[in-house]
Structure 1
Amino acid sequence: MKIGEAARRVGAEVHVLRHWNDEGVVVPDRAPSGHREYTEEHVRRLRVVQACRGVGMSLAEIRLVLHRGEAGRAGAIERRLRRIRAQRARLADAERFLEHVIDCTHDLLTRCEDCTGYALGAPEPVEEPGPGAVDGGDGR
């Protein structure tokens, strides 16, 4: 199938599939005319790429994950799992804080030990590495 059909099937823009091709993530075959030819296997790979992007993986990480034998694959997955677990812990703390705030009887949150305790212990916002970062982040 042509790139437009593959893009439609996975709900992506054609330029995204071209970019993933250029980055070596999903590289379709080429017809004699030079056009990209996607198979059902490519569509499955595209869906896996979308799932990986959905959990915050960079294209460099995804290239490692797609192929079981790739060097560094386990490390990339473990790093992503650590980030997800840390994010889950931060979200759980934030949820407990907000649940407390709903019922907090203090007129100002700064007068409540529980509220200020959360604020003092809250981690600094964590930003994902930008383009060209050492961990392979590509910002896209």
Structure 2
Amino acid sequence: MKIGEAARRTGVAAHVLRHWHASGVVVPDRTASGHREYTEEHLRRAHVVRACQGVGMSLPEIRAVLTRDDASRAEVIGARLLRIRAQRAGLEAAERFLEHVIGCTHDLLTRCEACTEYARTSPHAATGGAPAGRPAADGA
């Protein structure tokens, strides 16, 4: 099938498929006239690429993961699992903090040891209170 149909069936734009081709993660066949020709296998591969992107993998990481005999495959997957586990732990800590704040009886959160302990130990404490890439809000 042509790139337009492949784009429609995978839910990504044609320019994304061209980029994936250039990056080596989904490399379609070529017709005699040089047009990209996608097969069902290419579509399955595109869906796997989208799933990998959904868990935060970059195209170079995905390229390593897609090939079972790539030497860095296990390392890439292991590193991604560690990041996911760290994110999960951070989200669980944030959830515990917010659940505490809902019932906190202190007139100011800064007077609550549990609230300030979370603030001291949260990953955002080292960035001035804002997640990486976001400015700290004034008056917080």
State the alpha-carbon separation in 2 of the partners of residues 107 and 12 from structure 1. Answer: 51
Aligned counterpart, 1:5: 5
What is the DSSP-based 3-state SS (H/G/I as helix, E as strand, rest coil) of the residue aligned with 1:57?
A: coil
- 1:3/1:127 CA distance change after superposition, 3 Å: farther
Could you give the per-residue CA deviations for residues 61-97 of structure 1, whole angstroms, max 9, x where no partner exists?
A: 0000001011110000000000000000000000000
Aligned counterpart, 2:136: none
AA of the residue aligned to 1:51: A
Aligned counterpart, 1:105: 105
State how many pairs are aligned.
Answer: 128
The Cα of 1:59 is off from its aligned counterpart by 0.2
Matched, 1:48 2:53: no
Aligned counterpart, 1:38: 38
Runs of 4+ in 1 over 4 A off after TM superposition: 125-128
AA of the residue aligned to 1:101: V
Aligned counterpart, 2:115: 115
Q: What stretches of structure 1 of length at least 5 have no aligned partner?
A: 129-140
Q: What stretches of structure 2 of length at least 5 have no aligned partner?
A: 134-140
What is the DSSP-based 3-state SS (H/G/I as helix, E as strand, rest coil) of the residue aligned with 1:4?
A: helix
Identity of aligned residues (%): 70
Aligned counterpart, 2:67: 67
AA of the residue aligned to 1:14: A
Larger Rg: 2
State the alpha-carbon separation in 2 of the partners of residues 107 and 14 from structure 1. Answer: 56
State the alpha-carbon separation in 2 of the partners of residues 3 and 105 from structure 1. Answer: 60
Question: Which protein has the bigger helix share?
Answer: 2
- RMSD over aligned CA atoms reads 1.4
TM-score, with structure 2 as normaliser: 0.88
The Cα of 1:127 is off from its aligned counterpart by 5.4
Could you give the per-residue CA deviations for residues 38-69 of structure 1, whole angstroms, max 9, x where no partner exists?
A: 00000000000000000000000000000101
